[in-house]
């Protein structure tokens, strides 16, 4: 016959089913976690190195803007990794765009003006040719008048008119030569693209383009 003391001792020794189930669940979770970690390490984790004093090998370059201006955007900070050509800082480009448009218009006007000089030289050349024809005609007329005057076929007044016409033709030819020389002087026997005014306007356009491009501060290296 059991006593109350022996019954209590047996109850204390008997395992608790709920506790046993909880321990099994904990064990299964730990095993699954270890399996998951082992799988990750084998597939991916073993390729990563870990250290507390590592340094990245990279280029550290100091960049300075080439044009003054108001900063409108900063796209990178100190120690950020950037690629060559990436925008680091953006400056206000409104004035630079206006200057570029002005330079483009100035070049167009300069080319048009120089082309007009070439056209003027061409017109002066044509006028000179016309005056040369007129002079030859006046010389022929005057020679004919002199022959007729010797025979008394024409009056002295008609001969005087012919002489005046010849003098006028010679003067007109001289004026045409001067006009041609004057119109050729600015172009100086050079092509349009090599004209000093055109070269200057083109240089101003290139400078305006550079000033606009420099409103974006770019990374020189990666």
Contact 206, 104 (CB under 8 A): no
Kindly give, in sequence order, each residue whose CB lies less than 8 Å from that of residue 87, ignoring residues fewer than 6 positions away: 75, 216, 217, 218, 219
| 127, 140, 147, 165 from 169: Cα distances, Å | 12, 12, 20, 6
222 residues of the chain, pLDDT tens digit each:
445 544 444 444 455 777 777 777 878 888 888 888 778 777 765 555 565 555 555 667 677 777 787 888 888 777 777 788 888 888 899 999 999 999 999 999 999 999 999 899 899 999 999 999 999 999 998 988 888 877 777 888 888 898 899 999 999 999 999 999 888 888 877 888 889 999 999 999 999 999 999 898 887 777
What pLDDT was estimated at residue 50?
60
pLDDT tens across 165-191, in order? 999 999 999 999 999 988 888 887 788
Tokens 């709920």 belong to which residue? 18
- Residue 143 backbone zone (phi > 0: left; psi -120 to 50: alpha; other: beta): alpha
pLDDT in tens, 22-39: 777 878 888 888 888 778
How far apart CA 18 and CA 111 sit, in angstroms, is: 98
């Amino acid at each position: 016959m059991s006593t109350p003391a022996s019954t209590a001792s047996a109850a204390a020794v008997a395992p608790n089913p709920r506790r046993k189930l909880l321990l099994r669940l904990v064990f299964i979770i730990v095993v699954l976690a270890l399996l998951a970690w082992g799988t990750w390490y084998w597939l991916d984790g073993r390729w990563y190195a870990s250290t507390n004093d590592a340094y990245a090998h990279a280029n550290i370059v100091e960049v300075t803007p080439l044009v003054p201006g108001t900063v409108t955007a900063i796209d990178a900070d100190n120690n950020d990794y950037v690629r060559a050509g990436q925008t680091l800082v953006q400056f206000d480009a409104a004035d630079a765009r206006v200057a570029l448009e002005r330079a483009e218009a100035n070049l167009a006007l300069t080319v048009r003006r120089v082309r007009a000089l070439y056209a003027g030289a061409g017109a002066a050349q044509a006028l000179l040719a016309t005056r040369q024809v007129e002079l030859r005609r006046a010389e022929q007329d005057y020679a004919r008048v002199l022959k007729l005057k010797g025979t008394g076929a024409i009056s002295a007044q008609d001969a005087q008119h012919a002489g005046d016409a010849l003098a006028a033709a010679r003067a007109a030819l001289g004026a045409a030569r001067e006009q041609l020389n004057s119109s050729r002087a600015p172009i100086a026997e050079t092509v349009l693209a090599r004209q000093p005014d055109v070269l200057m306007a083109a240089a101003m356009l290139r400078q305006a383009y550079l000033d606009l491009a420099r409103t974006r501060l770019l990374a020189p290296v990666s």
